């Protein structure tokens, strides 16, 4: 056939999921070393290493345009992103790998800044660089720089997989959502970005703060591409429950809402790169919020809860009291958000 | 300063090594989970998992141009390459991860072929796909497709690190070198590629065939970017020895030699993507060659030996009886060889 790759396939939303399920999963052996494998489509995969411990590993590539933006750069993003994907499995980040693909003629000074930002993130968590790769593509054959990173961590059980959410559980978010997505969107549309900036940062400290609740911390997720909308749908689907969230409880900066309105996009589908969503037993809701605030996540809030009933549905109670289904994002407005 | 990234930084030769040592290693914590870390600059890093076993992990990105070439495509290359890097540490490949970065408009059929080739390599070794990532870049911002892969394997000790080579050890190569490099070079220069084709393939079966020799199998290496010249220099340097190789013992196809001459490049710096170099105790030289031939590596040959004396030197005994220092390749003639 004469079909070709669309931007939507790279959106991180429903189209990406469909592509992976249709064109990749059927070709490969999936379950491997006895842990969480690709068929679960979690943030990371795991390899049991004895004593109830798991090595957790995750890969992402970063193509963000522009590579420097308010709040960070592609290096900070690439290191934080893959380490966050292992953190939301419940793993303490331990090691990082990087594959840099850079355009001939890219300023060496900028590359140094990017590498420094990667190192700053890694060093802040005592994460070691295990290895990497460096390729240069001729001028014009790649736009500036792309970085793939692998995050590696070690988790004790329980792993925070998404199937663990149960009816009655509360859904907590660490802070305002959509900052990263709105910032990059605004930059790509040449809108003035004033106080708005990307939230990119490691979120391991939030997971760590809640690990002490043991089994009562059920699941965790970083709402990156596809935003809160995609993340909540994945939790609902994977756990076989429905989810209700309250629009007026979802922390979001006014500017983010404004940009989303201006550009006609669903604000809840905008990527966050420095927030986490947690599913917790209702018995620890208040303590969990307290623990997050103490750790510096001052705007942590409960935004909804897990319900039984129809599996895989996310219902948004709107500000005006209505109900609307919050779908998995479809299509792609702008690429290279992360 | 106003320096910028050169193609040489991505050559896989001396310039890459200098870049990594100068701009990356000093920024990061290197030794991590108690195994082989980045400071050793081996093909892969290791994480001990008890019982004398190590998880071995390696990352590479693949930018080869063109993505389809005689003998394979970028998918076969990306899967083989990272699994070969763990194999040469002595590890049995177990899992793979992939990050695909593809240009909007890339033919879906070609992407499917590439994915199929990746899967074929993985399935041939019972390797599972553990996870991945998919990004699409807008038309014009990346030339066709880039794939980063991570290879993961499990090794029993001894790990085949390059520091283990000792004076007297023999150096064996599994077959003719430079086929991949010569093929891609010829394609990029619009030369006619007739019977020449890339040698890309997994080389784990060669390593496996020699594992039974235990400690007498010292080291292994895949002579990819920088070719035999880079690989031998790394062995000499890391082990603190010199190496002598005999030009007339090095298997190389006539066409490869011809293309190298036409283009004025050092044929021994041309990448192989389906050969391995082994360092073995002289007592097992014949048995090792026999084992390799039985495994299908029919052109396996001894090409030289490790000597004491000046550390880090590779000396080539030429066909006409002369001696020449075989240096680490410098600069870069064409990029996107792999
Ligand atoms: N090319 C691919 N090969 C194998 N698995 C893939 C591929 N692309 C995505 N996946 C899998 O699909 C799932 C979702 O991937 P996705 O990249 O959307 O998650 P994420 O990394 O948490 O989000 P983001 O990339 O926005 O940070 C993961 O389990 C991932 O391993
Ligand atoms: N960007 C990087 N960050 C960290 N380490 C790097 C980076 N680039 C290269 N290295 C390290 O330098 C060493 C040599 O890398 P190189 O890519 O040349 O090896 P290779 O993968 O065996 O060869 P090839 O890439 O040609 O297959 C490895 O130890 C690798 O981990
Ligand atoms: Mg994630
Ligand atoms: Mg991610
Ligand atoms: Mg490499
Ligand atoms: Mg190698
Ligand atoms: Mg390699
Ligand atoms: Mg991803």
CB A32 near ligand 2, within 6 Å: no
Which of B49, B52, B28, B54 is closest to B39 using CA atoms?
B28
At residue B32, the pLDDT reads 64
Quote the pLDDT of residue A32: 64
Confidence of residue A1 (pLDDT cuts 50, 70, 90): low
Chain A residues inside the 8 Å CB shell of B52: none
- Model confidence pLDDT, tens digit, residues B82-133: 999 999 999 999 999 999 999 999 999 999 999 999 999 999 999 999 999 9
Report pLDDT digits (tens) over A231-242: 999 999 999 999
Round to whole Å and give the CA distance between B38 and B75. 26
Mean pLDDT value across residues B41-66: 95
pTM for this prediction: 0.98
Instruction: For residue A200, report the distance from its CA to the centre of ligand 8, in Å.
Output: 15
Interface test with A, best of B74, B130, B143 (most A CBs within 10 A): B130
Task: Calculate mean pLDDT across residues A126-135.
Answer: 97
More confident of the two residues B234 and B1: B234
pLDDT in tens, B243-283: 999 999 999 999 999 999 999 999 999 999 999 999 999 99
Average pLDDT of chain B, as a whole number? 96
**pLDDT value of position A31:** 75
**CA separation for the pair B44, B153 (Å, rounded):** 10
Q: CB–CB of A65/A145 below 8 Å?
A: no
Rounded distance, CA B99 to CA B108, Å? 17
B249 lines ligand 2 (CB under 6 A): no
Show residues of chain B in contact with A104, CB under 8 Å.
4-7, 335
Count CB-CB contacts under 10 A for residue A118: 28
Q: Whose CA is nearest to atom 18 of ligand 2?
A: B12
Chain B residue with minimum CA distance to A41: B131
**Out of A141-150, A173-182, B324-333, least confident range:** B324-333
Ligand 1 pocket mutation, candidates A9, A10, A16, A200, criterion most atoms within 8 A of CB: A16
Instruction: Return the pLDDT at B220.
Output: 98
Q: What is the pLDDT of residue A34?
A: 80
Interatomic CA distance for residues A25 and B119, integer angstroms: 10
What lines the ligand 1 site, CB under 6 Å?
A 12, 16, 20, 24, 38, 41-43, 60, 81, 85, 224-225; B 98, 100, 129, 131-134
* Pocket-testing residue among B133, B136, B152, ligand 1, by greatest number of atoms within 8 A of Cβ: B133
Ligand 1: residue whose CA is nearest its atom 31: B131
pLDDT tops 90 at residue A59: yes
Of A90-94, A175-179, B48-52, B182-186, the one with minimum mean pLDDT is B48-52
Does ligand 2 come within 6 angstroms of the Cβ of B15? no
The ipTM assigned to this model is 0.97
Q: Is the pLDDT of residue A283 over 90?
A: yes
> What is the phi-psi region of residue A12: left when phi exceeds 0, alpha when psi lies from -120 to 50, beta otherwise?
left
Reduced to 3 states, what is the DSSP secondary structure of residue B134? strand
Is residue A118 within 8 Å of residue A98, measured between CB atoms? Answer: yes
Q: Using CA positions, which residue lies closest to atom 28 of ligand 1? A: A41
Mean pLDDT of A57-81: 98
* pLDDT, tens digit, 9 for 90 and up, residues B200-258: 999 999 999 999 999 999 999 999 999 999 999 999 999 999 999 999 999 999 999 99
Categorize the per-residue pLDDT at A333 as very low, low, confident or very high, splitting at 50, 70 and 90: confident
Q: What does the block give as tokens for A301?
A: 């809030």
Nearest to A332 by CA among A130, A127, A160, A181: A181
């Amino acid at each position: 056939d004469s079909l070709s790759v669309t931007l939507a396939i790279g959106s991180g939303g429903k189209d990406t999921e469909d592509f992976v399920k249709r064109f990749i999963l059927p070709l490969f052996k999936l379950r491997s070393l006895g842990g969480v494998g690709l068929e679960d489509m979690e943030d990371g995969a795991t390899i049991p290493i004895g004593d109830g411990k798991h090595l957790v590993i995750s890969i992402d590539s970063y193509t963000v345009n522009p590579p420097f933006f308010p709040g960070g750069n592609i290096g900070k993003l690439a290191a934080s992103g893959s380490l966050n994907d292992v953190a939301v499995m419940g793993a303490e980040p331990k090691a990082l790998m990087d594959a840099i693909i850079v355009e001939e003629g890219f300023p060496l000074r900028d590359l140094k800044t990017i590498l420094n930002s990667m190192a700053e993130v890694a060093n802040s968590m005592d994460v070691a660089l295990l290895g990497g790769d460096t390729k240069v593509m001729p001028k014009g054959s790649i736009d500036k720089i792309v970085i793939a990173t692998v995050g590696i961590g070690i988790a004790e059980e329980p792993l925070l997989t998404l199937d663990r959410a149960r009816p009655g559980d509360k859904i907590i978010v660490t802070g305002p959502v959509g900052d990263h997505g709105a910032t990059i969107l605004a930059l790509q549309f040449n809108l003035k970005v004033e106080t708005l900036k990307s939230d990119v940062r490691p979120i391991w400290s939030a997971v760590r703060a809640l690990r002490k609740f043991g089994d009562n911390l059920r699941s965790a997720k970083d709402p990156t591409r596809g935003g809160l909308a995609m993340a909540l749908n994945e939790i609902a689907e994977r756990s076989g429950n429905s989810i209700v969230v309250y629009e007026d409880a979802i922390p979001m900066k006014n500017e983010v809402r404004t940009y989303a309105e201006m550009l006609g996009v669903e604000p809840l589908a905008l990527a966050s790169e420095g927030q986490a969503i947690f599913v917790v037993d209702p018995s620890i809701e208040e303590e969990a919020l307290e623990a997050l605030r103490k750790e510096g996540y001052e705007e942590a809030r409960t935004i909804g809860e897990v319900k039984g009933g129809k599996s895989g549905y996310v219902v948004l109670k709107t500000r005006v009291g209505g109900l609307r289904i919050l779908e998995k994002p479809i299509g792609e407005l702008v690429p290279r958000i992360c």
